[in-house]
Amino acid sequence: MKHEFKLLIDGQSRDGVTTFDVVNPATGETFAQCPKADAAQLEEAVAAARRAFPAWAATPVEERAALVVALADALEARAAEFASLLTSEQGKPLDQAMYEIMGSVFTLRAFAAMRVEPKVLREEGGNSVVEHRTPLGVVGAITPWNFPVILLMNKLGPALVTGNCVVAKPAPTTPLTTLLFGELARDILPAGVFNVLCDQNELGPLLTGHPDIAKIAFTGSTATGKKVMAAAADSVKRVTLELGGNDAAIVLDDVNPQAVARKVYQGAMANAGQICVAIKRAYVPSSMYDEFCDELAKLANEAVVDDGSKQGATIGPVQNKMQFEKVVSLLDSARAEGTVLAGGAPLDRPGYFIPPTIVRDLDDDAPLVREEQFGPVLPVLQYDDIEDVIARANDSDYGLGGTVWGRDVARATEVAKRIDTGTVWVNQHLAIDANIPFRGSKQSGIGGELGEAGLLEYTQAHIINAVPLED
């Protein structure tokens, strides 16, 4: 029997006002119906979260943390079911889906173990100044379609541990795993503490403009992030914006090209390139450019591009039709302006399949180099001078991540320090975990997630400054 997905409002599983199709990107066909909420249901969810807030904020942190651990346990117990649903709605191969689910479990547990303690700022001459941290209230959590589960946990974990209530809104093309998680949460959390609404892009502006929402935690594109920031201004909401990126990989001249090409390939193609910090352009010394490009092309040709539910698939489809068309148009211009060594055109089969594509000989101003492709397509550029390549890597409005690859780690680290992004990995990629803060610079975001800094983003500093009363 088909699963009937429901919204979660005030602790109740609810139908929407209507439903919409959810498409499996590997087939291009509808495989489930998603309940669609309207503005009135959004009002109900926000009101429920507000009602729940005082008691939840007053609940001892140990109890709140225990419930977050219970959520992690419940998710782990049904990990296989979640991974399979994630592959159906998102497209990623099953092993990568399982990795996202288990990463989500880890994230919830990591936040459950974190605490914010009051900080004594002064204790002298009878004057006591203490910084306490109080929760903000209702948080709107808006997520994209590339990692629908873990990007929600990055928000839910810290929000709940610090005593906030949450209204979550997943992306329209990947809503089902969030709804299934809502079912788990319904039986674990007090009513109203966590609510899930789904839409077809109509509710975002209502959440971001809502006077009873204290903070928007948003992950998505830079274009939408700008709208979120503008809408939040009216009520001076707190915002965390995790936005797009155009991460450069800088390969230094002391590496083994074949070994590093393998790592760069993986960093560019995991999740079919749909990772905010995927390697989106690679800079390689001229002396090893041909060899490096050829190795990347070899790896691309070896990839198994298939439905993520099929055993052995290494690259699934692009998640949705709109993104597929965007990547196809970047491919068209790349074919005209550069040399395609592998891939280069969508597969002639149902679904949104683009094989891993390696393009060389492009100018720095080519759209595939300048824009965020968010697909399995990597431009490879050459350089001769380290100063020049640092300048080219930094010549972007984005500032999310990046990688530097070098046998001499100290030298690679010096280069990494000069890359103007929130994170730079040296000789590794995607080493993100809940205990390490993550944030973008420039137009890649504001505020951050993860780590203690990510926890504090869900709190307000509350200074108590006391002196003895003098007669």
Take residue 94 and report the two structure tokens written for it: 């099953």
Q: How far is the CB of 143 from ligand NAD (least distance, A)?
A: 6
Q: Which residue, 289 or 438, is less far from ligand NAD as judged by CB?
A: 438
For residues 211-230, which are near ligand NAD according to CB under 6 A?
219-221, 224, 227-228
Q: Which residue, 285 or 379, is less far from ligand NAD as judged by CB?
A: 379
Q: Name every residue whose Cβ is closer than 8 Å to that of residue 436 and which is 6 or more positions away in sequence.
A: 450, 451
Catalytic-labelled residue, pool 34, 198, 276, 293: 276
- Site membership for ligand NAD, residue 205 (CB under 6 A): yes
Q: How many CB atoms lie within 10 A of CB 240?
A: 24
Binding mask 423-462 for ligand NAD (x = CB under 6 A): -----------------x----x-----------------
First-last CA distance in the chain: 76
- Site membership for ligand NAD, residue 208 (CB under 6 A): yes
Q: How far is the CB of 220 from ligand NAD (least distance, A)?
A: 3
Length of the chain: 471
Residue 247, φ and ψ in degrees, nearest 5? -70, 135
Q: How far is the CB of 255 from ligand NAD (least distance, A)?
A: 27
Whole-angstrom distance, CA of residue 294 vs CA of residue 282 = 14
Instruction: Specify whether the CB–CB gap between 157 and 108 falls below 8 A.
Output: yes
- Binding residue for ligand NAD (CB under 6 A) from 18, 30, 127, 201? 201
Q: How far is the CB of 39 from ligand NAD (least distance, A)?
A: 14
The reply to whether 387 belongs to the active site is no
Instruction: Specify whether the CB–CB gap between 444 and 421 falls below 8 A.
Output: yes
Which letter does DSSP use for residue 469 in this model?
Answer: P
Q: How far is the CB of 203 from ligand NAD (least distance, A)?
A: 8
Take residue 393 and report the two structure tokens written for it: 């890597």
Q: How many CB atoms lie within 10 A of CB 417?
A: 9
Instruction: Specify whether the CB–CB gap between 2 and 30 falls below 8 A.
Output: no
For residues 162-181, which are near ligand NAD according to CB under 6 A?
169, 171-172
Q: Which residue, 274 or 357, is less far from ligand NAD as judged by CB?
A: 274
Q: Give the β-pairing of 339-342 and 127-135.
A: unpaired
- Site membership for ligand NAD, residue 402 (CB under 6 A): no
Residue 238, φ and ψ in degrees, nearest 5? -70, 140
- Binding residue for ligand NAD (CB under 6 A) from 103, 144, 356, 451? 144
Interface stretch with ligand NAD, choices 29-37, 200-208, 249-257, 380-388 (CB under 6 A): 200-208
The reply to whether 291 belongs to the active site is no
DSSP H helices in 187-320: 203-209, 222-233, 257-269, 289-302
Catalytic-labelled residue, pool 242, 295, 372, 449: 242
Helix H or strand E encompassing 358? strand 357-360
Site for ligand NAD, rule CB under 6 A: 142-146, 151, 169, 171-172, 201, 204-205, 208, 219-221, 224, 227-228, 242-245, 276, 372, 374, 400, 440, 445
Give the active site residues: 242, 276
